[in-house]
A and B are shown apart, each in its own frame.
Chain A
Amino acid sequence: MGLLSLLKKLRSNPEQELRILLLGLDNAGKTTLLKSLASEDVSHITPTQGFNIKSVQSEGFKLNVWDIGGQRKIRPYWRNYFENTDVLIYVIDSADRKRFDETGEELSELLAEEKLMGVPVLIFANKQDLMNSARASEIAEGLNLHTIRDRPWNIQACSALNGEGVKDGLNWISKNIQRKKK
């Protein structure tokens, strides 16, 4: 980000408001993550038909999190939400090995999107509490994350259900955004 646009951003958003886009396949745990970020009950979550938005306060940032439904049929609509994204969070069901290819393809397509160019991406390797879950390092390797060169990225193991690891992902975001300021 250039210095001028950065200053502009800082001036218009004195308390650093961030627009976060939450994407991933259906059943990955996006909505559970959204509710867990907002410290709400996560035991009765309905599959998302459109999208959900929540504002969450974290480490001096105001996060405006957009959680978009992930069914195959509605993935083409993801692009309607790309504009002005500060951080992309991509959620993976680490225990659903059958769909690792599908989720990898969707992620590569997202990273190739012009409107998301340079946008930092945090990948949550979710559902680590499940017995069949692949480790974050396995997923990183399978998805060839190390080939990402055009943006900051990070993969974080977590369980949106019991909250473990979620905070560490947020920490990465806040550090990373602060780095943008320099």
Chain B
Amino acid sequence: MGCLFTSPYSPLYYLFPPAKSQSLEEQPKVYSWDVRERVDPKDYMIENKQNDVFIKLPGSINGMQFIIQNLENCVVYLFDNVAQVSIDDCKNCKFFIGPSKGSVFIRDCSDCNLATVCQQFRTRDCKRITTFLSCGTQPIIESSTSMKFSCLTINYAQLTEQLKNAKISIFNNNWNNIHDFTPVPGELNYSFLSQTYQLIDYVPLPDKFTCNQLKLTFSKTDTLIPLTLGISNRPTSESVLVVYFPNDSTDQAQQNQEIQASQLINEIKNNYSHILLVQAKKYNLSELSAENVFGTKSFNDYLKNGPIIGLEFNGNDASRQCHELVESLKLKPVFVSCPSSNLMHQIDTFYNFADMQMSV
């Protein structure tokens, strides 16, 4: 295409035809999308259906974009990687959307239940949508009412690999931090589900055969994505912050760091049911910020190795139990906060730096 001076559509083109050298320069370039294999969009779309169930198994979407529109009383499961998903004009439907490298965008839908793990979550013009969410950035809603959110709990055989493909970390879930573009004074367009509910109350498991094939579970105990309470929901006044650092800059070190964080979460889940995970964060911390959070320079050497993983636990005796566990697991390098009047400020600072680093 061209500008006013060179566009063949422009009347000026005929008065000032481009010089020869220029037209050579502007010869059409070949981009990857000009030469890629064409696919049938219908294979990546579910539309205009009623009272039906659709299951896409691992390997059937392979990280392509997926489109869902105009469904009523349907259940849709996408157990695969997607590039981005739009869900438009659906009523009374239930969805599971597998790891999305880009956004999951819901528009003009009502009375739907949804479970998804994605990089971005967005809604517009929706009513009564309940979402079990794992989202790498802050979820946003616009012109949407009676929206409910909860933490996604799920596992299946291919999930770890799919999360990796989508560049999503299970240690960075912002389901509890919603931004509303259209707040209404005196009303709340969104709320959080009580912890007494679970995913299965809102989205049914698929048929037995599929469940077995995928080793699928929605349970809170077997979930791969850590169940978090959210910072608006601390049950007691006793919190503890545990931060893991990568030992060096290798992939192996980052893997170890994740294993250690998972181990601690599982030990606590299995042995101390009264201590709960409030929130997990994985992000790059600068040296200056680190000094601010930890009150010491002694962790600065690890920061250049990669992102840190921070876990906040809450419950009576959380601090002592975490110190003991971390000691006995011999996991290093790690920081565990000490009880002090300054602790909540320290934890807030830790989250604030995470938010700052997430914004541009």
Contacts and interface: CB of A to CB of B under 8 A. Distances in A.
Contacts of B65: 95, 130-132
Contacts of B83: 129-130
B195 interface: no
Contacts of A164: 31-33
B3 A152 contact: yes
Interface of B: 1-5, 7, 9-11, 29, 31-33, 39, 41, 44, 64-65, 67, 69, 83-84, 86, 88, 101-103, 105, 107, 119-120, 122, 124, 136-138, 140, 142-143, 167, 179, 181-182, 358-360
Contacts of B9: 146
26 contacts: A26-B142, A34-B360, A44-B358, A45-B137, A45-B360, A46-B359, A46-B360, A47-B122, A47-B179, A49-B140, A49-B181, A52-B360, A54-B360, A72-B142, A73-B181, A73-B182, A129-B83, A132-B67, A145-B1, A146-B9, A149-B4, A149-B11, A151-B4, A153-B4, A154-B2, A162-B32
B3 A153 contact: yes
A136 to B, nearest CB: 7
A43 B165 CA distance: 11
Given A74-B181, A98-B86, A98-B88, A47 B138 contact: yes
Given A136-B1, A155-B1, A71 B29 contact: no
Given A49-B179, A132-B44, A176 B33 contact: no
Contacts of B3: 120, 152-154, 172, 176
Which of A49, A132, A152 lies at the interface centre, i.e. has the most chain B CB atoms within 10 A of its CB? A132
Nearest 6 A/B pairs, CB to CB? A152-B3, A146-B9, A46-B137, A52-B360, A130-B65, A128-B33
Given A43-B101, A131-B41, 13 more contacts: A45-B119, A48-B360, A49-B179, A72-B142, A72-B143, A73-B181, A127-B84, A128-B33, A130-B84, A132-B41, A146-B10, A148-B4, A159-B33
B181 A27 contact: no
Contacts of A49: 140, 179, 181
Contact of B138 (A27, A46, A71): A46
Contacts, number: 119
Q: Which of B2, B7, B32, B136 has its CB near the most chain A CB atoms (within 10 A)?
A: B7
Interface in A141-182: 145-146, 148-149, 151-157, 159, 161-162, 164-165, 168, 172, 176, 179
A56 to B, nearest CB: 13
A128 B41 contact: no
Given A49-B179, A72-B124, A96-B86, A152 B5 contact: yes
A140 interface: yes
B29 A168 contact: yes
Nearest to A47: B140
A137 interface: yes
A38 B167 CA distance: 21
A121 B145 CA distance: 36
